[in-house]
Structure 1
Amino acid sequence: MSSSENLLTAPIGPVLKKMTKQVLFGMMMLMSFNLVDTYFIGLLGTDSLAAISFTFPVTFTIISLSIGLGIGTSAVIAKARGANLLEQAKDDGLGALILSFVLVAALAFCMYSFTDEIFTLLGAKADLLPLIHEYMDIWYIGAVFLMSPMVGNSILRASGDAKTPSIIMAVSGLINAILDPLLIFGLGPFPELGMQGAAISSVIAWGVGFFVVIYVLAVKRKLIWIRWIPFTQFVAVSRRILKIGLPAAGANMLTPIAMAVLTAMIAVHGNAAVAGFGVGTRLESIASMVVLALSMTLPPFISQNFGAGQWDRVEQAYKSVIKFVLLWQLAVYLLLAAVAGYIAMAFGKNDPEVMNVIKLFIWTLPLSYGFQGIIILSNSSLNALHKPMKALLLSVIRLFVFYVPFAYLGSVYFGLIGLFIGALIGNVFTALIAYRWFLKALPQSVVVEAKV
């Protein structure tokens, strides 16, 4: 039985569980190593930790473009495979890789050209700009190598293969974790490069992932053509990808914009507050790992069944995943709250102010991660149904109607604790809207039948 047939015919719970476990392994390795990255940079001092925290909105903007293009790629290829259009799926895969490479390179160059202006707007002070340049000038160069594994992994998952992307992510993360201390602190024969060392480690890790994923797609799995597609065909493929990919990328880019606004708000409270917030955002990716894994495995399942017209499986999969996520994230919050002091000590031990911000973050925002999970999964599922504008509108409502305004009001009246609680409330309200929107996107006969 092929991977596509598994997604179309296998029992929903077991097939999603298997794919998610495979993705989760790679994400656990990759994100754990990223947390190690933050830990080593934190050892350089509060200024270095604050500098890397300022880079998150900028780096995530480029990452968001890659994620959005990956979402568009996955939705288009999975639907084609569900409809048994395998040759078209190969065209779409190759076109997606070429398109993504060009767009990410262009965006990285533009942001590199205005580095000082961008980070000054974010609230970074002049004394942090040299540290930011040490990291970002190298990071921009490697951005194209980050993109290809992300889009390539989307092609693999669209075909029902969640295991190979997991292995590629894990290997890249391991390489980064090994190189970090060697190049940051100059251990053994390696030079001491500080912030530059962290960036170089990441670029090398991404480069390895780039060559591995291209080999797997083109040679081992034959999911893309080994040739240059004609320009007219490339344009047609690009239109299919961008129809979903651009709104999806736009939706993902709204997150770093909102994070930039929050970072600017927090910067008023000093470098220690920014450093603590930066640690908190890294912890958020770890705490939401299962949700993020499901956001990669649920869309291919939905898109293939959408292509095959199996709406009942789409609705059942979505509802079962939502119930699971609410319970899972509640358990994660209780665990984080219990060990908040130890986490703060590990990442902010050089500065009591940083430790206090980390604990404050952990005790508030993670309480809403279950609702945030509903938003993330509803958004990715709407893209899987080829309704990218609804997904984009949902992101706009979440960030700029609820999340940022509530955080701002909380900050004005209650300081940092108010900011975090305001963001929490914003997640709750948006989750209620997201759940209702997805059910309305399904054919009404399916929803009515499910209620009977």
Structure 2
Amino acid sequence: MSQKSASSGRRDLLNSPIGNTLKSMTLPMLVGMVMMMSFGLVDTYFIGLLGTDELAAISFTFPVTFTLISLHIGLGIGTSAVIGRFLGNNSHSEAQLSGTGALMLAFVLAAVLAFVGVITINPIFTLLGANERLLSYIHEYMVVWYAAGVFLAMPMVGNSILRASGDTKTPSYVMAGGGLINVILDPILIFGWGPIPAMGMQGAALATLIAWALGLLYILYLLAYKRELILPRLLSMSELKRSCGGILKIGLPAAGANMLTPIAGGILTAVVAGYGPGAVAAWGVGGRLESIASIVILALSMSLPPFISQNFGANNLSRVSKAYQLCVRFVVIWQLLVFGVFYVLSGVFARAFSSEPEVIGLIQTYLMIVPLGYGVQGIVILTNSSFNAMHLPMSALLMSVLRLFVFFVPISYLGSYLFDLKGMFWAGIVANMLTAAVAYIWFCRSLSKRMAA
């Protein structure tokens, strides 16, 4: 790799001031994610215009689509951790090999998941609680979405390669550009325009497929030729095995940990389905708004791991500790401010997504309670990403199991059983507080042991 390409788009993560470095890495990610997720809300808005059944149907798809996206995120986490460590100790050729192998692995994995997904649509969504009427809408959307997943996996891994090198601007441009293309195509393909027929929910999925396919073409060109962060060829089988070993060691537990969240979400969606389609629609809208409310946490969870991985590779563990503590303090304060905004504007947000009084009331209730717990939830998210960046993926996986299936799902179900839907919302906050306390203590002790070794 040439010196120019090795440094292109990269920041000095090993020596520059911690606060300024994290800020300069996080802000581009924040802008890109705000735009992408705002476009996702627009997507939900257009589907909501089709009717309550369509809005409920798209809400049922969230746990499944998030499960598959989480799997790709896990692969990206493994990729970023391995490449970041290689770059931290100046092993650039190994970083190239690992990046190429990760992209090849992402393609194979996405293709297999698309095939399995298409043939299991009816049993999976029936299990989640969808009735026959909603299944027809879900089927037309998910067949196209599964195909689009092939074009999603590789850009996500490619963005992880860029972030591992210290470049967070380009991934934000890719996310924002894809989201913009999606939102432009949405009304055209959903409602029809000129010679283009109205495709309904299938049109929304097709818009996503086109946006992701264009993003894939750009990211491959950028990585292979402009940045030289991957090799412009396919790897041999021996090279692929060698490059994927370290990635899968971190990526598989990380993917498992990430997939647990939407699986738990699917369980709770089934619980919410017992309150009727209106409750499911409100739950889905609340989930989309949660993504916007947690945008800073999500951006930090992508910018903090490359910082940790490179400093871990260079054995700068004191910088790792300072960065983690700084991020934890920031997200708690920030999310309390976000809760205040959501509480005051809950009615405005609710009426923007539905005209039915029942759905409006449920969305408003969600927004006046659930966001109170986003700060402590952020501690758990940042701790999980920090564990993976420190090459401790099993700790991250165990933390996710603890959070979701020891605390979150059981306590939320109990809250629903005792105090209906509002009780479920409050119980989720209690579960996140308990998990955050465990996560913080666990990571600090693990890091102290590494520093003392």
Q: State the TM-score bracket (shorter-chain normalisation).
A: over 0.9
How far apart, CA to CA, are the structure 1 residues paired with 2:58 and 2:130?
11
Structure 1 counterpart of 2:405? 400
Query: Which residue of structure 1 aligns with residue 52 of structure 2?
Result: 46
After superposition, give the CA deviation of every residue in 1:365-401 in whole Å (9 maximum; x if it has no partner): 1100000000000000000000000000000000001
1:212 to 212, 218, 227: 218
Render the CA deviation track for 1:227-248: whole Å, top value 9, x for unaligned: 1211111011111110000000
Q: Is it true that 1:381 corresponds to 2:386 in the alignment?
A: yes
Question: How well do the aligned residues superpose, as a CA RMSD in angstroms?
Answer: 1.3
| CA deviation after TM superposition for structure 1 residue 134, in Å | 1.0
Give the match for residue 117 of structure 1: 123
CA shift for structure 1 position 445 = 7.8
Provide the rounded CA distance (Å) in 1 between the counterparts of 2:291 and 2:214: 23
1:8 is paired with a residue whose SS is coil
Distance 1:373 1:125 in 2: 34
Contiguous gaps of at least 5 residues in structure 2: none
Deviation sequence 1:106-128 (CA, Å, 0-9, x none): 12211211110000000000111
CA distance, structure 2, for counterparts of residue 22 and residue 107 of structure 1: 31
Q: Which residue of 1 aligns with 2:198?
A: 192
Please give the alpha-carbon distance, in whole angstroms, between the structure 2 residues aligned to 1:243 and 1:130: 39
Residue 365 of structure 1 corresponds to 370
- Residues 257-268 of structure 1 correspond to what in structure 2 (within 5 A)? 257-268=263-274
C-alpha deviation, 1:5, in angstroms: 6.1
What is the aligned counterpart of 1:78 among 74, 80, 84? 84
The residue identity in structure 1 corresponding to 2:429 is: L
Structure 1 residue 309 displacement after superposition = 0.3
Secondary structure at the counterpart of residue 91 of structure 1: helix
Q: Do structure 1's residue 308 and structure 2's residue 314 form an aligned pair?
A: yes
- The alpha carbon displacement at 1:444 in A equals 3.9
Distance in 1 (CA, whole Å) between partners of 2:436 and 2:357 is 35
Match of 1:224, SS state, is coil
Report the Cα distance in structure 2 between the residues aligned to 1:327 and 1:147, rounded to whole angstroms: 33
Secondary structure of the corresponding residue to residue 43 of structure 1: helix
Q: How many angstroms does 1:447 deviate by?
A: 8.5
User: Structure 2 residue aligned with 1:410, among 402, 411, 415?
Assistant: 415
Letter in 1 for 2:321: E
What is the rounded CA distance, in whole Å, between the counterparts of 1:428 and 1:108 in structure 2? 36
Contact kept in structure 1, 2:10 and 2:167, CA below 8 Å: no
- Is the contact between residue 79 and residue 161 of structure 2 (CA under 8 Å) also seen in structure 1? yes
CA contact (8 A) 1:139 1:200 kept: yes
The aligned counterpart of 1:439 is 444
Residue type at the aligned position of 1:44: L
1:328 alignment partner in structure 2: 334
How many angstroms apart in 1 are the aligned matches of 2:440 and 2:28? Answer: 26
CA distance in 1, matches of 2:11, 2:304: 15
Aligned residue for 1:272?
A: 278
Q: Unaligned stretches of 5+ in structure 1?
A: none
Question: Which runs of structure 2 are paired with 1:139-178 in the superposition (5 Å)?
Answer: 139-178=145-184
Counterpart of 2:216 in structure 1: which amino acid? F
How far is the alpha carbon of 1:357 from its aligned partner? 1.2
CA distance in 2: counterparts of 1:428 and 1:443, whole angstroms: 23
TM-score of the aligned structures, taking structure 2 as reference length: 0.97
Judge conservation of contact 1:65–1:104 (CA < 8 Å) in 2: no
- State which drifts further: 334-343 or 225-234: 225-234
On the 8 A contact 2:223/2:230 being kept in 1, the answer is yes
Whichever residue aligns with residue 174 of structure 1, its letter is L
More displaced 10-residue stretch of structure 1: 183-192 or 215-224: 183-192
The answer on 1:28 being equivalent to 2:38 is no
1:11 aligns with 2:17: yes
Letter in 2 for 1:433: V
Find the aligned partners of 2:107 and 2:322 in 1 and give their Cα distance. Answer: 36
**Matched residue, 2:111:** 105
- State the distance in 2 between where 1:189 and 1:171 align: 25
Instruction: Confirm whether residue 430 of structure 1 aligns to residue 443 of structure 2.
Output: no
Amino acid at match of 2:36: L
Q: Find 2:324's aligned residue among 318, 340, 347.
A: 318
Residue of structure 2 in register with 1:234 after alignment: 240
Q: Percent identity?
A: 58
TM-score normalised per structure 1: 0.97
Q: Which moved more, 1:267-276 or 1:100-109?
A: 100-109
Matched pairs, number: 447
Kindly state the Cα deviation for residue 202 of structure 1 after the two structures are TM-superposed: 0.4
Which amino acid counterpart does residue 114 of structure 2 have in structure 1?
Answer: A
**Partner SS state of residue 231, structure 2:** coil
C-alpha distance in 1 between matches for 2:224 and 2:164: 15
Q: Which whole-Å deviations, capped at 9, do the CAs of 1:390-437 have from their partners, x for residues lacking one?
A: 000000000001110110000001000011111111001000011111
Matched to 1:303, the amino acid is: S
CA shift at 1:188, angstroms? 3.4
Residue aligning to 1:138 = 144
Work out whether 1:67 is the aligned partner of 2:96. Answer: no
Measure how far apart 1:360 and its partner are: 1.1
Q: Distance in 1 between matches of 2:399 and 2:451?
A: 22
Q: Is the 8 A contact 1:4 1:304 kept in 2?
A: no
**Structure 1 residue runs of 4+, over 6 Å off?**
none
Q: 3-state DSSP class of the match of 1:443?
A: helix
* Cα distance change, pair 83–413 in 1 and its aligned pair in 2 (3 A): same
Structure 1 residue matching 2:13: 3-state secondary structure:
helix
Matching residue's letter, 2:83: I
Contact 2:11 2:167 in 1 (8 A): no
